Amino acid sequence: MGMGMQIISSCTQAQKSCLEVRGSGRKLALVPTMGFLHAGHESLMHWARKHSDLLVVSLFVNPAQFGPGEDLARYPRDLERDVQKAGKAGVDILFTPEAEDLYPPGYATWVEVEGLSSALCGRFRPGHFRGVATIVCKMFNLLCPHLAVFGQKDWQQLVIIRRMARDLNIPVQVVGRPTLREQDGLAMSSRNAYLSPEERKAASHVFQGLKQIREEFLAGKTGREELENLLREYYRENLPLAAVEYVRIVDAQTLEPTDPVRPGSLAVAALKLGKARLIDNILLQEGVIS
Amino acid sequence: MGMGMQIISSCTQAQKSCLEVRGSGRKLALVPTMGFLHAGHESLMHWARKHSDLLVVSLFVNPAQFGPGEDLARYPRDLERDVQKAGKAGVDILFTPEAEDLYPPGYATWVEVEGLSSALCGRFRPGHFRGVATIVCKMFNLLCPHLAVFGQKDWQQLVIIRRMARDLNIPVQVVGRPTLREQDGLAMSSRNAYLSPEERKAASHVFQGLKQIREEFLAGKTGREELENLLREYYRENLPLAAVEYVRIVDAQTLEPTDPVRPGSLAVAALKLGKARLIDNILLQEGVIS
């Protein structure tokens, strides 16, 4: 567009603008975020920018995907910095809706992706993926993007959203992009802000463990339980500060445990480290590690 | 359009056509049906035709909204006659999808409208409105209508769909149109085909009872239970062949029982008569009875 970034908080106005763009034949890309933008988000925006005519980024900390006792209230926020980063990334519309506008009194509708939502993180965060599927469905309907871009760190989320969009016949292409990492391998995440310096240092082992499992697989080990046990042991030794929620090797599409482990299977882990819940994953195959 | 009616069964092709129409600025109306079209459907089509540039009618007997033991297998079908009626009504696109195309292997996503879906018919047809909300959400996404037209006989369905569309931010106007009736007052319904001649004759009392309750209300009775009991009694006397599932006077928007009954409250009834399950309703207010 080259006309500067618009900041829109009204759902009605955002939908009107996006329907006009879609109607005019221009290609619209969406990067949905919860704000507190980091280089991971920026890489999604840059990719989206390159593959579209108009880039919409949503900033919304969605209450519906937080369980009781989770970090909704203290989720990090910095609107001013987000606006700057979005502006620099060439965002055309920054959509900053209010919860009361998205979930008005009498709100009653939920989108559930069965099966996929109860695996892995779903076991530890009941209702989480229902909240995710619902808000993303709403965003797709509001902003009618041709393509929507998500990070692969939240692999389960990506698979669920792709399934949801396909199942509900939403005319959007759901794109997953590689995880961006800090120099020591830690996956970028807004929640890394919760880590103390000591925890932050130790956190690099989340990914180091996954990389080691990948090496073991590429060297010939294909027993799922054996590989999972190796990863658990790695975390016990190198991340004694953390409580492992799960480590699992699954089919990258169905998220079901794979036995034996195959090229393209996904190793996933979730750990609690101090106030942060960290998740990460790695594809068990030759090639670039993202 | 004036180019004759297109019959499309492919979801992909239907979506492509409708997105093109929406992109071209023409106004698109949808009348979703389960086929076996009757004058009630035709009146919806005529209204939709008048208020749009392109009229899409879907014919789909949605398995997801039938419970086990319900009438999915024997639901009446007559595609040839439906095609003729749709053609005469000026339908531009007749969408006749296959179940395998709408619910492919691995299908996992459901749209649930809480609260509204468990009232009234929801208590007797668990899962029914989840199936309805899901297929209508899919149809809205596939066919992207500006407006969608439903009959008021299925009042609860209409309220649920309106809520779903609003909650999920689907840019569609959900329109309810008055119930068409046979000369003796029976609400038109494809399921009337299940009635034996004797049952068909008795069935007029479903609406006659509702009309009588309306008279009692307009004459001054406002006690909900009293009015409901009068209706139950009416059916016991005049429809001994039928088993009443429920009679209820509710708020027309929230579907919750109203005490006292107010102008604009809705009297609703569901009865089993032979192989048919009949539902009907009446607004308790002065004016034209539809």
Q: What are phi and psi of A30, to 5 degrees?
A: -125, 135
Would you state the structure tokens that stand for residue B57, as one six-digit string? 């009618």
Beta strands in chain B (DSSP E): 6-8, 28-33, 54-59, 93-95, 109-113, 147-151, 173-177, 243-250, 265-273, 276-284
Q: Distance (Å, rounded) from C-alpha A115 to C-alpha A106?
A: 28
Predicted interface score ipTM higher than 0.85: yes
Q: Nearest-CA neighbor of A264 among A282, A280, A278, A246?
A: A282
Whether A1 has a pLDDT exceeding 50, the answer reads no
Dihedral, B228, B232, B233, B236 alpha carbons, nearest 10: 180
Which of A41, A128, A146, A205 is flagged as catalytic? Answer: A41
Whether A137 has a pLDDT exceeding 90, the answer reads yes
Q: Is A281 helix (H, G, I), strand (E, B) or coil?
A: strand
A58 contacts A17 by C-beta, under 8 angstroms: no
CA distances from B258 to A108, B155, B161, B262 (A): 20, 16, 22, 7
Contacts of A116 in chain B (CB under 8 A): 108
Contacts of B19 in chain A (CB under 8 A): 171
Strands laid side by side in the B265-273 sheet: B243-250, B265-273, B276-284
DSSP code of residue A152: G
Q: Distance (Å, rounded) from C-alpha A177 to C-alpha A268?
A: 17
Average pLDDT in chain B? 96
Least confident of A76-85, B114-123, B201-210, B281-290: B281-290
B239 contacts B274 by C-beta, under 8 angstroms: no
Whether A27 has a pLDDT exceeding 90, the answer reads yes
Minimal Cβ distance to B141: which of A110, A115, A169: A169
Q: Nearest-CA neighbor of A207 among A116, A87, A134, A290?
A: A290
Q: Is B272 helix (H, G, I), strand (E, B) or coil?
A: strand
Please indicate if any CB of chain A lies within 8 Å of the CB of B98.
no
DSSP characters over B124-162: HSTTHHHHHHHHHHHHHHHH--SEEEEEGGGHHHHHHHH
Q: Distance (Å, rounded) from C-alpha A139 to C-alpha A32?
A: 8
Contacts of B137 in chain A (CB under 8 A): 168
Helices first, then strands: H and E counts in chain A = 10, 10
Active site residue A41: yes
Whether A205 has a pLDDT exceeding 90, the answer reads yes
B275 contacts B289 by C-beta, under 8 angstroms: no
**Half-sphere exposure in the Cβ direction for B25 (13 Å, CA):** 2
Please indicate if any CB of chain B lies within 8 Å of the CB of A37.
no
Size of interface A-B (CB pairs under 8 A): 84
Minimal Cβ distance to A141: which of B109, B113, B168: B168
Q: Distance (Å, rounded) from C-alpha B145 to C-alpha B277?
A: 30
Q: pLDDT tier at B3 (50, 70, 90 boundaries)? A: low
Minimal Cβ distance to B141: which of A133, A163, A171: A171
Position of tokens 């066919």? B143
Read off the pLDDT of residues B116-160 as tens digits, 9 standing for 90 and up.
999 999 999 999 999 999 999 999 999 999 999 999 999 999 999
Answer whether A109 sits within 8 Å of B167, measured CB to CB: yes
A14 contacts A142 by C-beta, under 8 angstroms: yes
Would you state the structure tokens that stand for residue A66, as one six-digit string? 């937080």
**Nearest C-alpha of chain B: how many angstroms from A289?**
29
Instruction: Specify the pLDDT at position A287.
Output: 81
Domains of chain B: 6-177 (3.40.50.620), 190-281 (3.30.1300.10)
Read off the pLDDT of residues A89-129 as tens digits, 9 standing for 90 and up.
999 999 999 999 999 999 999 999 999 999 999 999 999 99
Whether B19 has a pLDDT exceeding 50, the answer reads yes
